[in-house]
Amino acid sequence: MRASAFAGLLGLFAGLCAIFAACVSLSDWYGEAAQASWPVVSAVVERADVIASARAANDGGGTEWKLRYRVRYNVNEQSATATLTSRAVASDTETTKLRSWAAQHRIGSRIDIRYDPSQQNRARFASDEVPSAAGHTATDLILFAIASIACAGLVSLARYLKARAAQVRAARDGELRGLAIGFLFAAMGLMVTGLAIDRAIYADPFTADNLMGIPAGLMFVFAGVLIGLPPEYTRWRALLGTLVVTCFALTFDWVAFGPGERKFNGSFVGIGFVPSELMGRICFGFFAVVLDICAIAMWIDQLRRTFGSSTAQQSPLVSPSDSRA
């Protein structure tokens, strides 16, 4: 499984947990709101206990206290009993307040309670001085927030990883396409170069014109290698670009300034014409001069990079004594 798919799966699970926590939160909130509207009735205390228990170490340790009362009351002329439990407290202030309320409401005294009309044996303390049993709504909302944040974060992570993987695949596909195109260019250039060399070897009589197919073929070879070379090889790419321009310039120089007769033809707005040899040499000569200037400038830059960097690496450092002197 890809990382993006795994993150998306975890995000989906977190989203389902968030939906479940939201449903539970609504259910608990509705139950707690309903308890606040239960009717109030006076009940007789049959048993009153103040229970002490040890707190867990991760909760801070110490002792916590809570009330557990059993009461009897009448509802619709029928007797009912219920067991009431308060929320556990641990601070000195809340403990003192809880024990003081228990001392005032012993066995046989009367207290106000709220009972469930649909289930008369279910009741809770009605006094605000008694900490009511802890509701679950706050905890449910915390779990809902955690699950929602986890869902949003994991889904965003999955989208980011998916987009990044797509970029990597696109870059890889681009490199493969460049390599394939470069291979085709280089193969075509090697074929042209080989044919030019073969023709030069068997030429009779041999002239300089027989060699001019070589720079034209090498131009495609260097261009193919340049296309297929990864971008991080900056120096090699600069050198190959210089060689391509040089071969291009040599080809135009041969056409414009080489010995022998030249024949040109062309067209303008679809109308063909045959320019003179002088006009053709002038046109090719203009571009040949431009390419020569570019090639010379690129070779100067190559020499500056090569010998400039080596000189900078071999230059001695000035010692502190020399600088003081």
Residue range 210-230, pLDDT digits in tens: 778 888 888 888 888 888 777
Q: Determine, yes or no, domain membership for 77.
A: yes
Look at 63 and 3; give whichever has higher pLDDT: 63
Q: What percent of the chain has pLDDT over 70?
A: 87
Contact present, 68 and 124 (Cβ < 8 Å): no
Does one domain contain both 12 and 98? Answer: yes
Mean of per-residue pLDDT scores for the chain: 81
**Residues belonging to the chain:** 325
State residue 71's pLDDT score: 93
Does one domain contain both 240 and 273? Answer: yes
Q: What is the pTM of this model?
A: 0.45
Apex CA 182: angle with CA 181 and CA 185, to 5°? 90
Does one domain contain both 104 and 231? Answer: no
Sheet with 63-75, side-by-side order of all strands: 78-85, 63-75, 40-54, 110-116, 119-125
Does one domain contain both 185 and 289? Answer: yes
Q: Which of 219, 240, 224 is nearest to 184 (CA)?
A: 224
Q: Determine, yes or no, domain membership for 277.
A: yes
Pairing of strands 271-273, 63-75: unpaired
Does one domain contain both 123 and 19? Answer: yes
Does one domain contain both 124 and 253? Answer: no
Total domains in the chain come to: 2
Does one domain contain both 57 and 175? Answer: no
Last residue of a domain, one of 119, 153, 187: 153
The amino acid sitting at 239 is: L
SS3 77: coil
Residue 132 is encoded by which pair of tokens? 């009511």
Q: Which of 133, 131, 74 is nearest to 102 (CA)?
A: 131
Does one domain contain both 146 and 187? Answer: no
207-221, 236-250, 289-303: segment of lowest average pLDDT: 207-221
Q: Which domain does 111 fall in, by range?
A: 3-153
